[in-house]
């Protein structure tokens, strides 16, 4: 227990705590098949995610960036993290790949 290796500086720099929990939730959503990309164009993405407490719509547009209808109103919510695993996008810079 004494000689515990210190985490790499790069990992520490990421302030991972809340983010990591959202990432785990995103993993669960993906594994459960809860993420459906409904439509994808060069300038937008529209997806639905069946979350624990409801079904949310989320997506990306070149004008607004990432958005989600869940109460957290946060681009870092688990729904968006899940969608972004499926549709990697340049955050506001150009269209998703
Ligand atoms: Zn959300």
Structure confidence by residue, pLDDT tens digits, 41-54 = 989 999 999 987 89
Tokens 């949310």 locate to 56
Ligand 1 centroid – CA 68 distance (Å):
5
**74: CA distance to ligand 1 center in Å?**
7
Task: pLDDT band for 27, please (50, 70, 90 cuts).
Answer: very high
pLDDT band at 59 (very low <50, low <70, confident <90, very high): very high
Helical ranges in the chain per DSSP H: 9-12, 17-31, 78-86
Give bridge partners of residue 65 from the DSSP assignment.
61
Average pLDDT over residues 1-21: 62
- CA dihedral sign of residues 82, 85, 86, 91: positive
Taking the C-alpha atoms of residue 28 and residue 33, their distance in angstroms, rounded to an integer, is: 9
Note the pLDDT tens digit of each residue in 66-86: 999 998 866 789 999 999 999
For the record, the structure tokens of 85 come out as 């695993």
Residues with CB under 5 A from ligand 1 (ion): 68, 70, 77, 79
Put simply, whether the predicted model's pTM sits higher than 0.95 gets the answer no
Residue 75 DSSP symbol: T
């Amino acid at each position: 227990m004494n000689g515990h290796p210190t985490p790499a500086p790069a990992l520490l720099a990421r302030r991972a705590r809340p983010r990591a929990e959202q990432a785990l939730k995103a993993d669960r959503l993906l594994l459960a098949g809860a993420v459906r990309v409904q439509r994808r164009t060069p300038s937008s993405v529209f997806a639905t995610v069946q979350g624990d407490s409801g079904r949310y719509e989320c997506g990306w547009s070149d004008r607004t960036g990432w958005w989600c209808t869940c109460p957290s109103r946060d681009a870092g919510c688990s729904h968006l993290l899940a969608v972004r695993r499926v549709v990697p996008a340049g955050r506001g810079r150009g269209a998703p790949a």
